[in-house]
Structure 1
C-alpha cells in the first residue's frame, strides 16, 4: 500500500473514532433526557449504591443504553468508512 493510502486509512480511523465518540455521547444525552422526562429522574448509574433503586430499573437502563450506544457506534463507523471511501475515490 502506498504512503497516501496509509495516511488516508489512518485519517479515516481517527475521524471514525471521533465520530463514534460524539455519537455515543449524543445518544447518552438523549437517553438521559427521555428517561428524565418519562420517569422524573435521571437513569440509574451502574455504580449507584442507592438502596431504593429497583433492579428492574437498573437492568432496563443498562439494556437501553447499551443497545442504543452500540447501534450508534455501528452507524457512525459505517458512515465514516463510507465517507472515507468517497474521499479516496476523488
Structure 2
C-alpha cells in the first residue's frame, strides 16, 4: 500500500517537472521567435509606454496558446513514461 503512494508521488513529481520544463522551454523559444519576427524584445511590462497594445495582446494570446499546448504535450509524454515505469515495476513484482 505504501509503495502505491510512493509510485503516485513519483508520477506527480515527474508530471510537475516536465510541465515546468516545457513551460520554460516554450517561453524561451517564443521570446526568440518574437524577437526574430518583430525585431523587438517580447513585451514584459504592459505599463511600459514603448509597448503598443496590439503587440501586448498578440503576445499574450500566443503565449497562452503555446503554454497550453506545451503543457498538454509534456503531460502526455510524462504519462507514457510513468506508465512504462509502472508496468516494469508490476512485471518485476509478479516474478
TM-score, structure 2 normalization: 0.86
What pairs with 1:1-90 in structure 2 (closer than 5 Å)? 2-45=1-44, 47-90=45-88
Q: Secondary structure at the match of 2:29?
A: helix
Q: Secondary structure at the match of 2:51?
A: coil
Q: Distance in 1 between matches of 2:53 and 2:75?
A: 33
- Give the drift of 1:22: 0.6
Once the two structures are superposed, residues 49-70 of structure 1 have per-residue CA deviations (whole angstroms, 9 ceiling, x without a partner) of: 2223221110100001111011
- Give the drift of 1:15: 1.1
Q: Distance in 2 between matches of 1:74 and 1:3?
A: 29
Which stretch shows the higher mean deviation, 26-35 or 48-57?
A: 48-57
Q: Which runs of 4+ in 1 moved over 4 A?
A: none
Larger Rg: 2
Q: Secondary structure at the match of 2:81?
A: helix
Unaligned runs of 5+ in 1: none
TM-score, structure 1 normalization: 0.90
CA RMSD of aligned residues (A): 1.1
